[in-house]
């Protein structure tokens, strides 16, 4: 560190860089040397907020950081100004002024803890210098209050905006330890599903909620921590102290609790949860945008784990996020280049093993990686907003393909829960049917339990409209979600697809059988067909049949096949139907 550049002094210091290290390495009070320049060099080497006093307690030097802390103008002190006069024009209260005065008059080393006028804590240390001179080193417990935000205030909430936040983080990164620098935390907070508030209650109510969120955020933070609104429903906080992972997580949890309590805009209760991502300086980054990005990556991980969660950044998250970004780019290109295709898996009716239709299963023919299964890319497509256009393409392609099959063979199409929210699913279905001329009864939409949980009322409304059009509806992967069997009563599904984990014995043979039996029984009493997924062996076929399933799908009857193979598959069923042997259970 070089005097004069490391910090600017209110009074110029001559460059004595060569002699500074000797001082800086020794205990300050025992420092050799006697010139004023050496003492000034010492202060500069220590950096930060300091007042250098002569033998008569006259102020010889006042650093800019000290001037800021004491709330005095940073212009040079008048020659010979007494400490008492300096303190009198500071914003310290009487008790703090007295404590600092007494500290200065002490013999030897000492320290005192004061409160500045703005309420911030200041630790003052006295260091004895040669020739009865004294240095008072001031360390803020947190940095001095933020300057007014000015043009960096978010007009809606009055918090800092993104630019203001980045400027504050950058400034904080530039502070030395003596100025209150060092480790700090950045939290990024996102209100879960806030758009639903805007969509259902209107943007004016949405704004009221955001203002209330900002007020709660401000009230929940300690003085010196800086809250900001980055955009929309995304907030951030710069945390000055208590920056261990555990402490930041505890703080995040507290914020989730406070901000997650119901709001009452215009007297209407609105409940929101929030997710939080945490990054720490300097571990996670030494530039403001890196820290913000990493906190956002952690936020993303928290949301992916199921909202209303928090996560602290880890390098693995970075790697995952990069893979995902790459996947996103590839997916967009794949969609443009038509690298998607559908394979079709036979669905068979019991007891006579008659083919009644196919399920369309999406495949991505990647030029380098070969076929990529949907489990690996559908979640990314959902995240990046590509699932609606991809889903619309799937519907159109499946309906077009089904018109080439002998009637009344049906085609089942999987739709993501997000297509109910983001895309115009009704429009996509209508256009697929209209353009291909496929009879609506030959199209079945498969929806998973978890998709039904997201926004049940809106989703059920759309399902009812699809039904009115004549389209069939199946509940996919039944038994794996959170919903109970009573969920089935909320909608008259045509078909329940029993998840293959119950069929394969992965969940225990006896338990699997019992569940298959329960679901098949329920389906029978509700007038719904039950299809067992993932039937691979004759034993499994015999078992699900004995438990009452009306239909099966699985490798035993056929793997998902490319379009060009379907005529042979269909013909094979015609020949084979009567030949499949039945094993007694």
Q: Which of 449, 476, 547, 551 binds Mg ion (CB under 5 A)?
A: 476
The backbone torsions φ and ψ at residue 549, rounded to the nearest 5 degrees and listed phi first, read: -65, 145
The answer to whether 476 contacts ligand C2E (rule: CB under 6 A) is: yes
- Region from 49-57, 168-176, 272-280, 369-377 binding ligand C2E, contact rule CB under 6 A: 369-377
**Shortest Cβ 416–ligand C2E spacing (Å):** 4
Per-residue interface string for the shown chain with Mg ion, residues 393-432, x marking contact by CB under 5 A? ---------------------x------------------
- Region from 241-249, 272-280, 372-380, 510-518 binding ligand C2E, contact rule CB under 6 A: 372-380
Element (H, E) at 345: strand 340-349
Q: Which of 282, 373, 508, 521 binds ligand C2E (CB under 6 A)?
A: 373
Q: Which does 374 bind (CB under 5 to 8 A by kind): Mg ion, ligand C2E, none?
A: ligand C2E
The answer to whether 330 contacts Mg ion (rule: CB under 5 A) is: no
Identity of the residue, 100 or 362, whose beta carbon is nearer to Mg ion in the bound complex: 362
- Region from 241-249, 255-263, 311-319, 530-538 binding ligand C2E, contact rule CB under 6 A: 530-538
CA distance 159 to 182: 24
DSSP 297: H
Q: What is the dihedral of CA 43, 44, 47, 49, to 10 degrees?
A: 60
| CB-CB neighbours of 95 under 10 Å | 10
C-alpha distances (whole Å) from 549 to each of 205, 346, 520, 525 are 49, 16, 5, 12
Q: For 552, what's the count of Cα atoms within 13 Å in the CB-facing half-sphere? A: 31
Q: Taking CB under 5 A as the criterion, which residues in 517-546 touch Mg ion?
A: 533
**Shortest Cβ 477–Mg ion spacing (Å):** 4
CA distance 3 to 46: 9
CA distance 212 to 41: 50
Number of chain positions touching ligand C2E (CB under 6 A):
22
Q: Closest Cα to residue 318, out of 298, 340, 344? A: 298
Q: Which of 536, 542, 565, 572 binds ligand C2E (CB under 6 A)?
A: 536
Q: Which of 137, 394, 409, 411 binds ligand C2E (CB under 6 A)?
A: 394
Identity of the residue, 392 or 522, whose beta carbon is nearer to ligand C2E in the bound complex: 392
3-state secondary structure of 248: helix
**Structure tokens, 149:** 């935000």
Q: Which of 225, 446, 449, 551 binds Mg ion (CB under 5 A)?
A: 446
With a CB cutoff of 8 Å and minimum separation 6, the contacts of 203 are none
Identity of the residue, 77 or 414, whose beta carbon is nearer to ligand C2E in the bound complex: 414
CA distance 186 to 237: 6
| CB-CB neighbours of 35 under 10 Å | 13
The answer to whether 374 contacts ligand C2E (rule: CB under 6 A) is: yes
Q: What is the dihedral of CA 8, 11, 12, 18, to 10 degrees?
A: -80
Identity of the residue, 449 or 477, whose beta carbon is nearer to Mg ion in the bound complex: 477
| CB-CB neighbours of 224 under 10 Å | 21
Identity of the residue, 111 or 483, whose beta carbon is nearer to Mg ion in the bound complex: 483
Q: Which of 30, 316, 375, 457 binds ligand C2E (CB under 6 A)?
A: 375
CA distance 389 to 428: 9
CA distance 214 to 221: 11
Q: Which of 39, 399, 415, 433 binds ligand C2E (CB under 6 A)?
A: 415
Q: Which of 90, 139, 345, 459 binds ligand C2E (CB under 6 A)?
A: 345
Per-residue interface string for the shown chain with Mg ion, residues 481-520, x marking contact by CB under 5 A? ----------------------------------------
- Region from 273-281, 371-379, 479-487, 564-572 binding ligand C2E, contact rule CB under 6 A: 371-379
Q: Taking CB under 6 A as the criterion, which residues in 263-322 touch ligand C2E?
A: none
Number of chain positions touching Mg ion (CB under 5 A):
5
Q: Which of 378, 425, 452, 516 binds ligand C2E (CB under 6 A)?
A: 378
**Shortest Cβ 322–ligand C2E spacing (Å):** 24
Tell the residue number behind the tokens 């068979």, with chain if given.
348
**Structure tokens, 131:** 């020739």
Strand 234-239 and strand 226-231: the pairing is: antiparallel
The answer to whether 397 contacts ligand C2E (rule: CB under 6 A) is: no
The answer to whether 543 contacts ligand C2E (rule: CB under 6 A) is: no
**Shortest Cβ 172–ligand C2E spacing (Å):** 44
By the 10 Å C-beta count (0-12 exposed, 13-18 middle, 19+ buried), 348 is classed as buried
- Region from 42-50, 234-242, 308-316, 554-562 binding ligand C2E, contact rule CB under 6 A: 554-562
**Contact present, 89 and 69 (Cβ < 8 Å):** no
Identity of the residue, 15 or 341, whose beta carbon is nearer to ligand C2E in the bound complex: 341
With a CB cutoff of 8 Å and minimum separation 6, the contacts of 505 are 512, 540
3-state secondary structure of 543: helix
CA distance 547 to 518: 8
With a CB cutoff of 8 Å and minimum separation 6, the contacts of 382 are 416, 418
Q: Which of 134, 321, 414, 550 binds ligand C2E (CB under 6 A)?
A: 414
- Region from 288-296, 298-306, 521-529, 531-539 binding ligand C2E, contact rule CB under 6 A: 531-539
**Contact present, 460 and 473 (Cβ < 8 Å):** no
CA distance 131 to 110: 18
Strand 410-414 and strand 443-448: the pairing is: parallel
**Shortest Cβ 443–ligand C2E spacing (Å):** 13
The answer to whether 477 contacts Mg ion (rule: CB under 5 A) is: yes
Q: Which does 373 bind (CB under 5 to 8 A by kind): Mg ion, ligand C2E, none?
A: ligand C2E
Q: Which does 135 bind (CB under 5 to 8 A by kind): ligand C2E, Mg ion, none?
A: none
Q: Taking CB under 6 A as the criterion, which residues in 427-466 touch ligand C2E?
A: 446
Residues that bind Mg ion (CB under 5 A): 414, 446, 476-477, 533
Residues that bind ligand C2E (CB under 6 A): 345, 361-362, 373-375, 378, 394, 414-416, 446, 476-477, 500, 533-536, 554-555, 560
């Amino acid at each position: 560190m070089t005097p004069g550049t490391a910090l600017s002094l209110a009074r110029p210091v001559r460059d004595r860089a060569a002699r500074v290290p000797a001082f800086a390495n020794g205990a300050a009070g025992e420092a050799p040397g006697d010139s004023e320049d050496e003492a000034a060099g010492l202060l500069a080497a220590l950096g930060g907020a300091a007042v250098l006093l002569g033998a008569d307690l006259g102020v010889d030097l006042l650093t800019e950081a000290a001037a800021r802390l004491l709330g005095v103008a940073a212009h040079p002190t008048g020659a010979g100004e007494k400490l008492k006069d300096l303190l009198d024009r500071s914003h310290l209260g009487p008790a703090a002024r007295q404590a600092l005065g007494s500290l200065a008059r002490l013999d030897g080393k000492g320290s005192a803890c004061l409160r500045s006028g703005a309420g911030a804590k200041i630790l003052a240390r006295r260091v004895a210098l040669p020739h009865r001179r004294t240095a008072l080193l001031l360390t803020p417990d947190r940095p001095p209050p933020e300057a007014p935000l000015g043009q960096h205030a978010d007009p809606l909430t009055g918090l800092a905006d993104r630019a203001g936040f980045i400027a504050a983080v950058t400034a904080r990164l530039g502070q030395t330890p003596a100025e209150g620098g060092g480790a700090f935390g950045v939290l990024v907070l996102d209100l879960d599903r806030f758009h639903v508030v805007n969509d259902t209650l209107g943007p004016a109510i949405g704004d009221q909620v955001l203002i209330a969120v900002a007020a709660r955020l401000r009230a929940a933070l300690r003085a010196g921590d800086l809250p900001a609104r980055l955009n929309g429903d995304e907030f951030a906080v710069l945390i000055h102290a208590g920056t261990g992972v555990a402490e930041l997580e505890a703080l995040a949890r507290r914020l989730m609790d406070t901000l997650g309590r119901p709001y009452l805009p215009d007297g209407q209760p609105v409940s929101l949860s929030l997710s939080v991502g945490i990054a720490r300086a300097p571990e996670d980054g030494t530039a403001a945008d890196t820290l913000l990005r990493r906190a956002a990556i952690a936020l993303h991980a928290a949301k992916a784990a199921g909202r209303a969660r928090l996560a602290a950044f880890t390098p693995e998250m970075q790697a995952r996020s990069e893979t995902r970004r790459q996947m996103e780019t590839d997916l967009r290109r794949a969609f443009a280049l038509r690298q998607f295709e559908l394979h079709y898996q036979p669905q068979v009716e019991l007891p006579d093993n008659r083919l009644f239709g196919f399920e369309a299963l999406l495949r991505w023919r990647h030029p380098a990686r070969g076929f990529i299964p949907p489990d690996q890319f559908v979640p990314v497509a959902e995240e990046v907003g590509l699932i609606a256009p991809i889903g619309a393409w799937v519907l159109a392609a499946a309906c077009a393909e089904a018109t080439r099959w002998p009637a009344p063979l049906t085609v089942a199409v999987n739709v993501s829960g997000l297509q109910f929210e983001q895309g115009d699913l009704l429009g996509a279905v209508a256009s697929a049917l209209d353009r291909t001329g496929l009879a609506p009864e030959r199209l079945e939409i498969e929806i998973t339990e978890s998709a039904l949980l997201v926004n049940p009322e809106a989703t059920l409304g759309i399902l009812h409209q699809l039904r009115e059009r004549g389209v069939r509806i199946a509940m996919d992967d039944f038994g794996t979600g959170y919903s109970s069997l009573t969920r089935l009563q909320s909608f008259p599904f045509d078909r329940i697809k029993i998840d293959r984990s119950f069929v394969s014995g992965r969940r225990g043979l006896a338990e699997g059988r019992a569940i298959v039996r329960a679901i098949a029984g329920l389906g029978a009493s509700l007038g719904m067909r039950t299809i067992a997924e993932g039937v691979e062996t004759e034993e499994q076929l015999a078992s699900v049949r004995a438990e009452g399933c009306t239909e099966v799908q699985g490798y035993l009857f056929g793997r998902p096949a490319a379009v060009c193979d379907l005529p042979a598959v269909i013909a094979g069923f015609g020949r084979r139907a009567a030949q499949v042997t039945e094993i007694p259970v």
